[in-house]
Amino acid sequence: MNYKIGVIPGDGIGPEIVKEARRVLDTAAEKYGFSLEYTELLMGGASIDVHGIPLTDETIAEAKTKDAVLMGSIGGDAKTSPWYQLPPEKRPEAGLLKLRKSLNLFANLRPAYLYEELKAACPLRDEIIGDGFDMLIMRELTGGLYFGARRTVVENGVREATDTLVYNENEIRRIAIKGFDIARKRRKKVCSVDKANVLDSSRLWRSVVEDVAKDYPDVELSHMLVDNCAMQLVKNPAQFDVILTENMFGDILSDEASMVTGSIGMLSSASLNETKFGLYEPSHGSAPDIAGQNIANPIATILSAAMLLRYSLDQDAAADAIEAAVRQVLKDGYRTVDIMSEGCTQVGTEEMGARIAERIR
């Protein structure tokens, strides 16, 4: 079986970490009897440098012909990069928003898992960590505040900005179905997070989620207000299995969850549409200050590649092998600088990728 994979190396450390993810993917493909055909695509700052815009229609069309897309990080230093002298709609991040919308990538999956070997890097106390935690944040990705109508005006000499938060029941229902389906494959618990005590959009969210839950009697549904959820993530993270929430809340909560794992460099991400197509990327940024130094942690991108195998290609055994290889490398004491601890061996980006690939073989 041959699969066609679009690759967006991106900006900053993006090309370095994507290179290692491809190394690991190729090793898994060789072992499990399938092949991967890569096509490089430009987006973000790299696209601005060539085309003057962060994402071209040609790139979108090319991405649609692939089975999945693997992406590094995009963007640069907002203070020094010329990309951020451009209007907002022409900056690197605008390309990502356009790609998500164009490919209908409405479901964002962000796992937050605490490895036993990285407990020392977790900022929470041992009595809070307990036996660790394993949660998945399911974030609606193409609606809500980030995609609503917006404007900035000056009235009577006073600047005023408006952003509009809009959801319809169909948008909520499809993300809820994804959340419940994935919960069935995990521990069968969904915590729907909203702000139903204040927002009409959240009251609609809660109502639709409850309707969907009727079709999943085997999955336990609970509701939590977003401010309480933010507190519970640092008070008792082990209580969560699947957190289902809207776009802005999910953006904030998934970053919080990533930090209680000890390093955002460990967090993978998948964005799916209604087919098996997905965009897979690390949760962290492009870290331009360390680009080209061979010190970036490639594990988040490598784990995103494992998600690509699992969710888009149905190559579960290969995905399992990658995840097991990551665990084994950590157990063997190898660390990049961001997760380094006493008694371990510090390695660079390339060596970390190579050691993970070795353990797949």
Which positions are catalytic?
Answer: 146, 195, 227, 251, 255
Burial of residue 1, with CB atoms counted within 10 A of its CB: 0-12 exposed, 13-18 middle, 19 or more buried: exposed
Give the type of residue at 149.
A
Computed from CA positions of residues 12, 8, 136, 166, in that sequence, does the dihedral angle turn out positive or negative? positive
Q: Residue ranges of the alpha helices (H) in 245-315? A: 247-260, 299-311
- How far, in Å, CA of 135 to CA of 202, rounded? 22
What six digits make up the tokens of 89? 């709609």
Computed from CA positions of residues 27, 24, 18, 302, in that sequence, does the dihedral angle turn out positive or negative? positive
Q: Give the three-class secondary structure for 339.
A: helix
Cβ–Cβ < 8 Å for 182, 176: no
Give the type of residue at 143.
G
Maximum separation of any 2 CA atoms in the chain, in Å: 68
Please calculate the CA angle 133-324-179 and round it to the nearest 5 degrees: 50
Name, in order, each residue with C-beta under 8 angstroms of 32's C-beta and a sequence gap of 6 or more.
315, 317, 318, 321
- How far, in Å, CA of 239 to CA of 216, rounded? 20
What six digits make up the tokens of 100? 């998500």
